[in-house]
Structure 1
Amino acid sequence: MSIRPVPYDHPDAVKLNDQVQAEYAERYGDEGDVTPLDASMFKPPLGLYLLAYDERDRPIASGGWRSQDTNDEGYADGDAELKRMYVTPEARGLGLARRILAALEDDARAAGRTRMVLETGAKQPEAVALYLSSGYEPCAKFGYYRFHELSLCYAKPLSIQ
């Protein structure tokens, strides 16, 4: 397995994004996550997008962070927002999400971000379990889905460790 930075609009990233969107649509009965995103949001030093590849160089997991600062969607100065964490069904249980999460936290910390925040949903118990076991705590709702009843928001300080 290897984890590599790629642009958010890289063909492999688009492929995994399509897969996660299909999973969101199935779980929530809608069109998936419609939070506006574009590749520029994940360009260092204001963000980063990572893909994990298996031994046959197939993309099997993704995740990224983008900079946020105080705005009308509930973010605070210094926030790094986690987006598009996903592991393909065949690669689940290998610890890839935890490895990508740690790499994203390290990169956001090195970029001067002070808090990692994320929004997930009540129909994603695996994600909630990962974040809680990784030191994230519930926080005030923010982001595109902040008024949705199934939205769950979490935060973790990115202090130097």
Structure 2
Amino acid sequence: MHITFESPDQPDVHALIAELDAYLYSLYPAENVYALDISSLQHPGVLFAVARDAAGAALGCGAIVLKPEYGEVKRMYVRPQARGRGLARRLIETLEGKAAEQGCRRFMLETGPTQPEALIAYERLGYRYRGPFGDYPDDPLSVFMQKDAA
């Protein structure tokens, strides 16, 4: 498997995002899904990475939106058949590394309480629970986490 920074505007990436959206909307009401669309992911201040297998099939993706104070992790997704192999860890580490090269020293994210696997993975990667940040409301269907770069 390899991870590269790519445009999100590709058919196989659209399929990944559609799978992620279907999953999120099965767990949360629409007003509690704070997802970025493909056009937002193409903004110059967004790092977008895709994980692919040896044949080039897209297995996962993730993004970091670079802001002056922090980088926000968004659109993290690994297809179910590719889970359990450390791919999410590699995606996050790749994204954080690139963001750090651009001066980012703090990473934040918003996820949901009904995604225990994601919460455990983020904790293992050094993320700690915190209160809302940015424009997010304080809501029981949101979990906020932060990690400061070493």
Fold shared by both chains (TM-score > 0.5): yes
Question: Structure 1 CA distance, aligned partners of 2:81 and 2:31?
Answer: 23
Give, in angstroms, the shift of residue 8 of structure 1.
Answer: 2.5
In 1, distance between residues paired with 2:5 and 2:20?
18
In 1, Cα distance between equivalents of 2:46 and 2:52: 20
Q: Deviations over 1:122-154 (max 9, x none)?
A: 011111001111111111212454332110010
Task: State the secondary structure of the residue aligned to 1:142.
Answer: coil
1:96 aligns to what? 87
CA distance in 1 between partners of 2:56 and 2:32 (Å): 27
Q: Is the 8 A contact 1:116 1:158 kept in 2?
A: yes
For residue 106 of structure 1, the aligned residue among 86, 94, 97 is: 97
Residue of structure 2 in register with 1:33 after alignment: 33
**What is the distance in 1 between the residues matched to 2:15 and 2:97?**
25
Aligned to 1:9: 9
Counterpart among 68, 75, 98 of residue 84 in structure 1: 75
Instruction: Report the count of equivalent residues.
Output: 148
Q: Could you tell me which amino acid in structure 2 is paired with residue 94 of structure 1? A: R
TM-score, normalised with respect to structure 2: 0.89
Equivalent runs, 1:8-157 vs 2, <5 Å: 8-28=8-28, 30=30, 33-37=33-37, 38-41=40-43, 43=44, 46-69=45-68, 77=69, 79-143=70-134, 145-157=136-148
Unaligned runs of 5+ in 1: 70-76
What amino acid is aligned across from residue 25 of structure 2 in structure 1? A
* Superposition TM-score, scaled by structure 1 size: 0.83
The percentage of counterpart residues that share the same residue type is: 34
Query: Which structure 2 segments of 5+ residues have no match?
Result: none
